[in-house]
């Protein structure tokens, strides 16, 4: 007996409530953006500069003790969080200490790190510093810049590729879906205040890649069906195409999610934020390729006759909903 997540022949109407879906997406984007404006992202040291020290000790962690030990050093904003993870053994008590970048230092401050380590050692003799990372403000500023450029470049490159392979309407639809995914991902990071570091940028770009992958498969089918059903209107063709690829869309999302969830649960806390971003991205990306990309395509309309060169090439309004 075969496992079938999606029945053989489906004929859902994905556009009967297209305004509602676009509305929901729009609202979510507004919420994400507001959250981003109000709370901002919980930037990791990669982007903000400063030092993080990961400690491990057999002694139960009391954040107060840590705080009291470090407080006399007068380092400004110090965040101490205890980290729990199912993969830790009984005597693995892990804490993460984050120290803000000290005023106007361009380089990292080795002295600060040593001072904190010494202070903690006197309180908790068996403490180990399993990782110490320190980024100077100069580099962190550049990292933000590079990250923004990378995401923008990726989206731009994709826009061009899809434009070349399809039509500009497809490219706009795909890119709208990408922007949607990126904004929602940034939004959830700001809403839940999950640490946003360099790896999350990698996750963002992967989401861009994945969401696109999904969108392109649907669009590829749309292109094919546009040639096949010359008389049907665009909405119908889009519906047929999405239904035909639905089984594949769900299958791929499920296999990818299976893999990601196992990594989320078992992969340790170091990459959990990264994997979370990707899980979220796969869900949002799957949704957006159907409800955002295709809806926008419907809205923009496409050239229907693929065999003849268009008289109206270059006139973007000539073919709307032909």
Q: Are the CB atoms for 284 and 188 separated by under 8 Å?
A: no
How far apart are alpha carbons 97 and 59 in whole angstroms? 16
In the complex, the smallest distance separating the C-beta of residue 283 from other proteins, rounded to whole angstroms, is 13
Nearer to other proteins, 31 or 155 (CB): 155
Nearer to other proteins, 27 or 59 (CB): 59
Q: Are the CB atoms for 139 and 45 separated by under 8 Å?
A: no
Nearer to other proteins, 255 or 316 (CB): 255
In the complex, the smallest distance separating the C-beta of residue 262 from other proteins, rounded to whole angstroms, is 4
With a CB cutoff of 8 Å and minimum separation 6, the contacts of 267 are 275
Nearer to other proteins, 29 or 250 (CB): 250
Across 263-288, b (16+ Cβ under 10 Å) vs e yields: bbeeeeeeebbbbbbbbbbbebbbbb
Nearer to other proteins, 31 or 263 (CB): 263
**What are 23's two structure tokens?**
């509305």
In the complex, the smallest distance separating the C-beta of residue 293 from other proteins, rounded to whole angstroms, is 13
In the complex, the smallest distance separating the C-beta of residue 61 from other proteins, rounded to whole angstroms, is 16
Nearer to other proteins, 34 or 128 (CB): 128
Q: Are the CB atoms for 140 and 48 separated by under 8 Å?
A: yes
In the complex, the smallest distance separating the C-beta of residue 37 from other proteins, rounded to whole angstroms, is 26
Question: Contacts by 119-125 with C-beta closer than 8 Å and gap 24+?
Answer: 119/69, 119/70, 119/72, 119/73, 120/55, 120/66, 120/69, 120/70, 122/69, 123/65, 123/66, 123/68, 123/69, 124/55, 124/57, 124/59, 124/65
In the complex, the smallest distance separating the C-beta of residue 195 from other proteins, rounded to whole angstroms, is 14
């Amino acid at each position: 007996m075969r496992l079938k997540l999606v029945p053989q022949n489906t004929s859902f109407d994905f556009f009967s409530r297209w305004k509602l879906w676009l509305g929901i997406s729009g609202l979510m984007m507004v919420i994400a953006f507001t959250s981003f404006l109000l709370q901002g992202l919980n930037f990791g040291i990669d982007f903000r500069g400063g030092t993080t020290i990961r400690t491990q000790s057999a002694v139960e962690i009391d954040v107060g003790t840590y705080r009291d030990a470090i407080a006399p050093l007068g380092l400004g904003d110090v965040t101490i969080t205890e980290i729990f993870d199912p993969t830790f053994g009984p005597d693995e008590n892990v804490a993460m200490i984050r120290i803000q970048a000290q005023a106007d230092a361009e380089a990292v401050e080795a002295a600060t790190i040593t001072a904190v380590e010494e202070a903690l050692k006197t309180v908790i003799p068996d403490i180990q510093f399993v990782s110490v990372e320190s980024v100077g403000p100069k580099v962190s500023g550049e990292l933000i810049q590079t990250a923004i450029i990378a995401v923008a470049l990726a989206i731009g490159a994709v826009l061009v590729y899809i434009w070349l392979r399809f039509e500009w309407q497809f490219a706009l639809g795909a890119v709208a879906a990408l922007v949607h995914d990126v904004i929602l991902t940034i939004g959830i990071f700001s809403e839940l205040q999950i640490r946003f570091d360099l790896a999350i940028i990698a996750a963002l770009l992967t989401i861009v890649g994945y969401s696109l992958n999904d969108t392109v498969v649907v669009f590829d089918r749309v292109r094919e069906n546009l040639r096949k059903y010359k008389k049907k209107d665009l909405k119908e063709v889009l519906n047929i195409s999405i239904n035909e690829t639905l089984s594949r869309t769900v299958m791929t999302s499920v296999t990818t999610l299976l893999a990601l969830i196992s990594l989320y649960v078992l992969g340790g806390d170091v990459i959990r934020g990264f994997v979370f971003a990707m899980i979220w991205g796969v869900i949002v990306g799957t949704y957006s390729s159907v409800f955002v990309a295709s809806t926008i395509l419907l809205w923009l309309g496409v050239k229907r006759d693929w065999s003849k060169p268009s008289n109206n090439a270059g006139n973007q309004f000539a073919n709307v909903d032909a």
